[in-house]
Structure 1
Amino acid sequence: MSLVLARADYLPSDAMPVAVADRAPQPSFPPHRHEFYEIVIVWRGNGLHVLNDRPWPVTCGDIFYIKDSDCHSYESVNDLVLDNIIYCPERFKLGLDWSQLLPMDDPDHPACWRLTTRGMAMARNVIAQLEQESRKSDLLSLQLTEALFLQLALILRRYRYAVDRAYEQPEGEQLDLLMAAIQADSEAPFDLTQFCQHSNLSERALKQLFRQQTGMTISHYVRQLQLCRAKYLLRCSDCLIGQVAARCGFDDSNYFSVVFTRETGMTPSAWRQRFEQAGKAAMKTA
């Protein structure tokens, strides 16, 4: 049974609609739910974010919109720094249609987004102001907090792009272009040299920038994406092991099994069986 985090422990008063929880660093944290909604923005480092049993590799620029019904956790963290923007929609007073800005109750909305480098810089400034105002309790601070939250929501709406759907590619910044290219097609091996030639970028400089911003190499990040997709397919689909390997960018299913076992400590078959057994046990107790 997952933990439930209470709104009274994070919001300073019953009237305050928003609070900022600074996680620098974010440690590993067990599965939990909230009595509130949350926007997660990752600033630095890397780790594994498990949202409703689906693993997502996370690093700087990743955004998650977490509903009060969602269950999530953090694993395998490495210098992971993030902000949790906590909010209670029922406390908003501006009378806006927040569903146009925040995917609060849309089951078809992408779970994970990325924020461009420009968007990160703008969001960071607003969050700093939001953190200060949300600690106060006077009427003006309540109103200013909601106005700042609206500004943040607009920035995220303008500068975000989805990582698991065919949305428009971001423009300009090297890291944004690289991330979008890596995540565009997880079934095809990513060719860094070809990407750099096509984008007229220095491969060496891009490798250094990526490591500086994320704390890992490009190849490590690509492998994380492959393995997270494999874990999801093994749990949620009937694909054969060879089909899973192919859909995750592995040409050889035997090599896929070796890599998967080395990284997780379990064979792909054992990973799948673990969740099948858990599902049968849940059905018996229902």
Structure 2
Amino acid sequence: MAELILRKTDLFTCDAQSVAVADRYPQRVFAEHSHDFCELVLVWRGNGLHVLNGRPYRVTRGDLFYIRAEDCHSYASVNDLVLQNIIWCPERLRLGADWNETLPAQPAWRLGGVGMTLARQIISQLEQESAREDALSGKLAEALFLQLLLTLQRHRYQPDRAQAQDESVLDRLIATLAASLNRAFDLDAFCAQHQCSERSLRQQFRQQTGMSINHYLRQLRICHAQYLLQRTGLLISEIAMLCGFEDSNYFSVVFTRETGVTPRQWRQRSGSGAATEAPV
């Protein structure tokens, strides 16, 4: 459990309020903390490192996270990171909905551009209703929260789904990069497949995320490597291959440059991994 705990008494206007919206324009570096309430995090722009229960995620436009009361998380290396937090107290919800059924089954997922537009509209209404203290507004806020959760379910980005064809090329690019952790990514081939301008796509990507395409993919791979170093006993050379690096020495150079420590030091600091490894 994190030493810093955010309390509902500091963030909700009264004991009866069940749902609220907390804007982060932008989100600053924030030390590891937990809450005595639940939270949905929606990222609108920029990028940053979000560490959830010890696992690092490189986040940008369209990323969503479900933070339970017992979870710990923090933000680091932020760059114009704009997000909104939807916070709620499960014990205060009064609508007879099956909340467990509507809440996400996984802690991290993505939302496509169409879903982001719809979610933003609902959140805007939710923010207005949750700021009022009358009983009717409280019920409307809960109804809007339920609508938001169902909208997120419907528009969760899944590249193999028919609706994905309606999403922007940028959405498809981000999803393709996330699926390219252990293999080469060919931007020329991607642009040819989707009939788009490489120059325009690069500009759009940097405008929305604050990073180049190559930097973002490298960061995704390093985050995945950190997770594997912490949670598995794989050799560092094996982890390098799983993260798209054919040369383990080059992987160690990039990892050290991006994190400030070597892969071996990261593993030792996390207190996990194989007891012995081949030299790299």
- Please indicate, yes or no, whether the TM-score normalized by the shorter chain is above 0.5: yes
| Distance in 2 between residues matched to 1:75 and 1:81, nearest whole Å | 13
Name the residue aligned to 1:126.
122
Is the Cα–Cα contact under 8 Å of residues 22 and 84 in structure 1 kept in the other structure?
yes
Shift of 1:122: 1.1
Name the residue aligned to 1:270.
265
Deviations for 1:163-203, whole angstroms, at most 9, x for unmatched residues? xxx86483231111111111123111211111111222221
The one of 175, 179, 182 aligned to 2:174: 179
| Distance in 2 between residues matched to 1:79 and 1:53, nearest whole Å | 23
| Distance in 2 between residues matched to 1:143 and 1:112, nearest whole Å | 28
Deviations for 1:84-126, whole angstroms, at most 9, x for unmatched residues? 00011221111111122103xxxxx322111111111111111
Is the Cα–Cα contact under 8 Å of residues 45 and 59 in structure 1 kept in the other structure?
yes
Name the residue aligned to 2:205.
210
Which stretches in structure 2 are left out of the alignment for 5+ residues? 273-280
| Distance in 1 between residues matched to 2:144 and 2:86, nearest whole Å | 12
Partner amino acid, structure 2, of 1:89: P
RMSD: 1.4
Is the Cα–Cα contact under 8 Å of residues 3 and 32 in structure 1 kept in the other structure?
yes
**Paired residue secondary structure (1:161):** coil
| Distance in 2 between residues matched to 1:189 and 1:240, nearest whole Å | 21
| Distance in 2 between residues matched to 1:255 and 1:227, nearest whole Å | 12
Name the residue aligned to 1:67.
68
Is the Cα–Cα contact under 8 Å of residues 161 and 167 in structure 1 kept in the other structure?
no
| Distance in 2 between residues matched to 1:98 and 1:39, nearest whole Å | 14
| Distance in 2 between residues matched to 1:273 and 1:88, nearest whole Å | 38
Is the Cα–Cα contact under 8 Å of residues 2 and 71 in structure 1 kept in the other structure?
no
Aligned pairs (5 A) from 1:109-124:
109-124=105-120
Partner amino acid, structure 2, of 1:143: K
Aligned length: 269
Name the residue aligned to 1:20.
21
Runs of 4+ that moved beyond 4 A: none
Deviations for 1:200-242, whole angstroms, at most 9, x for unmatched residues? 2221111111111111111111011000001111111101010
* 1:219 equivalenced with 2:214 (yes/no): yes
Partner amino acid, structure 1, of 2:165: E
* 1:30 equivalenced with 2:31 (yes/no): yes
**Paired residue secondary structure (1:127):** helix
* 1:258 equivalenced with 2:253 (yes/no): yes
